[in-house]
Structure 1
Amino acid sequence: MKKLAKKLSFAAISGALLLTAACANQEASKEEKKVDVASLPEAGDFSKQLDLNLSGSITRGKAEDGNYVQKRLEEQFNIKISNTKVDTWNADQVNLMVASGDLPDTFAFTTGGKTAQELYDSGLTRTISKEMLEKYAPRYMKMLSENASGTKRNLLKGTENEYVALIGQYAHVDGLVWAPTFRLDWLEKLGIEPPGEIKQVGPSGGREKIYYTDGAYTLEELEEVLKAFTFDDPDGNGKDDTYGISPWNNNINWAHTLMGSFGIALQPNYNLLEDGKLVTTEISKNYKEFLKLMAKWYKMGLIDPEFTTLDDKKSWEKYKQGKIGYYVAQPSYMAMDDWAKGRAPQNIVENPNSTAKVLGTLPEIGKNGQQGEGAYIPVGNLADAFYVSKDVTDEELARILQVFDYINFDNEARWTLYGEVGVHSDWEGEPEKSALKVRPEFAAEEGNSGFWAYNFRTYDKERVSWFQSEYTSKLKNELYAREDVKEKMLIRPYKYDLLNETNIKEVEKRYKGQLDTVVSEFRMKAIVGEVDIDKEWDNYVENWKNNGGNEVLAELEKAPKVSDLMKQ
């Protein structure tokens, strides 16, 4: 499923909130009425029918009334479900819904980029007590306790037992999300040995042309490979028309593992200690050295000069033309999962007549043995938010939590996502070891089936296996999410405000635009040789600091160490 396996983030809803009267503020949060849990029904007591308006992470307003999942949930929990008819991925529709105050009882969209605490302070949501979660959502609480700082996430400020939102488990991004790939047929033609023993990803369908190894090239070896790909006519057409590497200009994903060989990650709030001082990646000495290497490769002609005009999609198309030898990809791309069709590097082998072969390796090794990439989630594997509307009563919340706990954390509830196997869906390959595919007569999401209509975006490893191919699972289990690989190669920031103890989010909102411009403009000019990196570096750092960087650093100084957060 495309929207599940791609770089997953919610549709962030932008624009000002059009709130009507009587919004709560932080002072009001202190007056939150304590829930008398003992007076509520026991878990599993569904004797009283309740009416609930439910939505989830993939609510596009298309769930048909009386759908398959709705009927089963209504019978199981003695509830009447009102389906949310709003596309919660559409900013205009959400803003109108918020302005009217007519919110569903549960929702997973954000409004105006606000944090969970800010939504609560705005009077949109209610809190969920730890006591209620322990009573009505024990599976969820177990998941929290098994993840770093899990039980401390989303706590209402000033409390230790009231949550302003629930959170999801992101097992689908566990391990390395990106990996280097090489044209294996070019390596073979040029007589270059792959780094380690190679294995096939799969037996057919193009996967037999994609290989992987737990070896890796050093940066010095990689440079020699890129030179051969560029100058030694690897495609045999007698023309000087190939390049070692082709970046793109709309994000920095192409450089994840290359930066990892310098021990850094260029992601929001990634920081490190350098000469005893806290610095962000963007102004670190290692980032400077990374830029100098890229500028050297560009000057040597190893980097496709058209990259400045290419976004990632145009870059995939360029790769498909067979002119690029090195490319960074996700395991799902290499495994040729359905949602990744057309993406490099799998697009070079999709044609049955293609003789191209691809090899995935572990990240490049830097001069000091550094290797890896930034962890997709800086601390642990928890992300996203699930909210309960302010108007939900304690009795309704008790029922909601039981539905939430069942459909999202009891894997017997697979039918809420794929129905019954053999009736609504079928295994793509080997049963229980491959992805599930919904039959065409049923809607894959919402519609007549109701699949995904009420679920939150949260997946343990078993649930991940339901939507990723067995070949992606193989790549992750055998290589990219292997425990020793994760331990050695996941780069995490030195400090991170996981528990919202600083004003970093507010500072980011204020300065993000100008800081991003400073960083991206210097990066581009540095790589293509328009500026002398050594001569201009100090001016660049000063410019970054003067455009909000000093404020960012000041807030990061207040944040806890990630090493401490990972232990909690």
Structure 2
Amino acid sequence: MARKRTIILFILIMAIVLAACSSKDNNNNKENIGGSNPDATKAPNDTGTPGAANAFDKHFDISYLSTFFNTNVVEGDWVTKQLEEKLNITIKPVKVDKSNKQQVELMYASGEMPDFGWQGPGANTPESLIEQEVTRTIPRSMIEKYAPSYAKLLDKYPQGWKKYESKVHPDEQLALSAYAEDLSISMMAFYRLDWLENLGIKPNGELKSLDQEGRIWYTDTGFTKDEHVNILRSFSQDDPNKNNKKDTYGMSAFSPYFNWTWAQLSGYAGFNANNLEEDGKTTDWYVSNKYKQFLKEAQALYKEGSVDPEFFTTDWNLWNEKIAGDRVGFWLTQSDYVGASYALDRVPQLLLNTQPHAKILITPSTGTTLTTLEPYTGNIALIRADVSDEKLIRILQWFEYMYFDPDAMIYTQYGQEGINYTWEGEPRKSAILPIKDSPAFTPMNGNYIATTETMSWTLNPLFTKVKAIGSSEAYSKLAILPHRNDFLNQTKYREVSSEVSASIDTIVNEFQFNAIGGKLDIDKEWDSYLKKLNDAGEQKLLEELNKMPLTADYIK
């Protein structure tokens, strides 16, 4: 009888042990969708430091989306191999243009969402993507343990942890937000200075040179509205490039980025692509009377030939090509793009490299916003719904390493020292000089996290000068701030926007194209346009918009 009890006891013990092992295996393999695993932060042999002994025993395949993966993936390059070796991962690039809403929507619908990536939500919000089980949340405790430098960055700002905090689980984040701790304006006005000189048009204020070659100049005084309009006309009608052809335009444009193309003209009217105060209420820019008046002025410029007639079908790449191709004399673009090595493929640097005779003039621009108002750049990193907590830990360690390790943040942008770049002088205290015709590589970083301490792009002296100019009173005083801003996500604006923005964007873009192109009478069609927007949900947006805190109160 005793022997029988012993056998039964042994069987019970084995059953408990097997059940415990099975439970552990299930927990390790469980794909946590939209929630956290309490044991996730107890990964064995995990110091969180790349290169440490036994830091990353388990290998992971991680699909990744970066801006640079649109067309510039280099298979097996040194940068990719370096990251993969350090973190014991294999990076699987997802080649989607995150600025293209249709491509992003197709990515979500087809199940091609990457494990980790910087992307726009398309017509969705981070909340709606969680609800659709496309993405998952990120526990705050994981961020604090495995991306501590990023956690400290979130701590610095009152909206840091609140920006993408889950309303269902406040201890979890819906996304990782990009930061650019920038002291300057986001946009500057650029003119072809050599064209102005050919036409005998003198800039206002004192001309100052930014580079030793004398090709980049700036002034603290911009042009008046009448002067600007006349310049656009002269650039279109008076053969500014002196080739005896009528092949130039004052400006081109591309959709739907209003602030990249039209903000100079709208800024003279006192608005940009943000909400504004009108008749004692806060309203969206595209339903304001100021916007209506702007459309009339833009239509007049188009009809007289001062605007590129192909702007309806011009995308970002073609827009850059037209300017670099000696066809366009004025444009707006980010101050970041002057002197930054990552911006060689876009204007103004693409123009200067393509047209050796070209010179540019930078002036203060109406209609821009201060980047310091909101350090978030609008880019967000999302995590695929079926990513396990175990893989999420590795992603956060990658995040911490690539954006905060002094060496990694340089090589993931500029490649291998001595092969892809050299230092102008003392390393880290001088300019990074890309080596011409060096082996191609995939820049992983993209400056999605750009802190005041680690902004490696400021190592370029020219870039630093431009930032200083943008921080000056002459430039920053013209910035137009949104009237209201939901800094702490206290309203349902994003939720409502996810429901109606796709339809509203279509209505706005269609009316804008037809209005500027002279295909409709703006006054006669305005009320019909507003009705279409209201039918699409604009009033719901305005209700939430007027619940937001005033920007002026927040930034005091």
Partner amino acid, structure 2, of 1:435: I
In angstroms, what is the RMSD of aligned CA positions? 4.6
1:165 is the counterpart of 2:175: yes
CA contact 1:518–1:543 (8 Å) conserved in 2: yes
Distance (Å, rounded) in 2 between the aligned partners of 1:49 and 1:345:
41
Matches within 5 A, 1:277-426: 277-298=281-302, 302-305=306-309, 307=311, 310-311=314-315, 313-314=317-318, 319=323, 322=326, 324-331=328-335, 335=339, 339-341=343-345, 343=347, 347=351, 350-352=354-356, 354=357, 356-363=358-365, 371-374=366-369, 379-387=374-382, 401-414=396-409, 417=412, 422-426=417-421
CA deviation digits over 1:471-509, x for unaligned, max 9?
3332223x22x1546753433322344555544445444
1:444 corresponding residue in structure 2: 441
2:431 corresponding residue in structure 1: 434
Distance (Å, rounded) in 1 between the aligned partners of 2:81 and 2:48:
25
Partner amino acid, structure 1, of 2:266: M
Matches within 5 A, 1:215-226: 215-226=221-232
Q: 1:470 to 1:541 in 2, by over 3 A?
A: same
Q: 1:120 to 1:292 in 2, by over 3 A?
A: closer
What SS does the corresponding residue of 1:491 show, helix, strand or coil?
A: coil
1:188 is the counterpart of 2:188: no
Matches within 5 A, 1:540-559: 540-559=529-548
1:245 corresponding residue in structure 2: 250
- TM-score normalised by L of structure 1: 0.72
CA contact 2:253–2:308 (8 Å) conserved in 1: no
CA drift at 1:529: 4.0
1:495 is the counterpart of 2:484: yes
What SS does the corresponding residue of 1:360 show, helix, strand or coil?
A: strand
Distance (Å, rounded) in 2 between the aligned partners of 1:43 and 1:321:
49
CA drift at 1:387: 4.7
CA contact 2:251–2:308 (8 Å) conserved in 1: yes
Q: 1:142 to 1:333 in 2, by over 3 A?
A: closer
Which of the numbers 251, 264, 285 marks the counterpart of 1:257? 264
Partner amino acid, structure 2, of 1:222: H
Distance (Å, rounded) in 1 between the aligned partners of 2:93 and 2:391:
22
CA contact 1:242–1:324 (8 Å) conserved in 2: no
Distance (Å, rounded) in 2 between the aligned partners of 1:308 and 1:192:
30
What SS does the corresponding residue of 1:179 show, helix, strand or coil?
A: strand
Q: 1:37 to 1:263 in 2, by over 3 A?
A: same
1:197 corresponding residue in structure 2: 206
What SS does the corresponding residue of 1:151 show, helix, strand or coil?
A: coil
Distance (Å, rounded) in 2 between the aligned partners of 1:140 and 1:508:
28
CA contact 2:234–2:240 (8 Å) conserved in 1: yes
1:85 corresponding residue in structure 2: 92
My pick for the range that moved more, 287-296 or 557-566, is 557-566
Distance (Å, rounded) in 2 between the aligned partners of 1:261 and 1:248:
17
Distance (Å, rounded) in 1 between the aligned partners of 2:508 and 2:210:
38
CA contact 1:244–1:303 (8 Å) conserved in 2: yes
Partner amino acid, structure 1, of 2:250: I
Q: 1:35 to 1:487 in 2, by over 3 A?
A: farther
Partner amino acid, structure 2, of 1:350: T
Partner amino acid, structure 1, of 2:441: A
CA contact 1:178–1:257 (8 Å) conserved in 2: no
2:466 corresponding residue in structure 1: 475
2:219 corresponding residue in structure 1: 213
CA drift at 1:523: 2.6
Distance (Å, rounded) in 2 between the aligned partners of 1:333 and 1:456:
13
CA contact 1:149–1:566 (8 Å) conserved in 2: no
CA contact 2:420–2:434 (8 Å) conserved in 1: yes
CA contact 1:214–1:361 (8 Å) conserved in 2: yes
Structure 2: gaps (5+ residues): 1-29, 98-102
2:280 corresponding residue in structure 1: 276
Which of the numbers 154, 168, 177 marks the counterpart of 1:144? 154
Partner amino acid, structure 1, of 2:422: W
Distance (Å, rounded) in 2 between the aligned partners of 1:496 and 1:543:
25
2:501 corresponding residue in structure 1: 512
CA contact 1:167–1:386 (8 Å) conserved in 2: yes
Q: 1:162 to 1:289 in 2, by over 3 A?
A: same
Q: 1:543 to 1:410 in 2, by over 3 A?
A: same
CA drift at 1:216: 0.6
What SS does the corresponding residue of 2:164 show, helix, strand or coil?
A: coil
1:538 corresponding residue in structure 2: 527
CA drift at 1:278: 2.2
Distance (Å, rounded) in 2 between the aligned partners of 1:387 and 1:526:
37
Distance (Å, rounded) in 2 between the aligned partners of 1:329 and 1:177:
8
Q: 1:347 to 1:200 in 2, by over 3 A?
A: same
Which of the numbers 504, 512, 515 marks the counterpart of 1:526? 515
Partner amino acid, structure 2, of 1:247: S
What SS does the corresponding residue of 1:175 show, helix, strand or coil?
A: coil
Q: State the identity as a percent.
A: 28
Distance (Å, rounded) in 1 between the aligned partners of 2:31 and 2:132:
5
CA deviation digits over 1:206-237, x for unaligned, max 9?
xx323222221111232343454455554556
Distance (Å, rounded) in 2 between the aligned partners of 1:452 and 1:148:
29
Q: 1:458 to 1:438 in 2, by over 3 A?
A: farther
Structure 1: gaps (5+ residues): 1-21, 75-80, 364-370, 446-450
Partner amino acid, structure 2, of 1:452: M
CA deviation digits over 1:345-386, x for unaligned, max 9?
85377344x3x43212111xxxxxxx3314579733354334
Number of positions where the alignment pairs a residue of Structure 1 with one of Structure 2: 508
My pick for the range that moved more, 194-203 or 387-396, is 387-396
- TM-score normalised by L of structure 2: 0.73
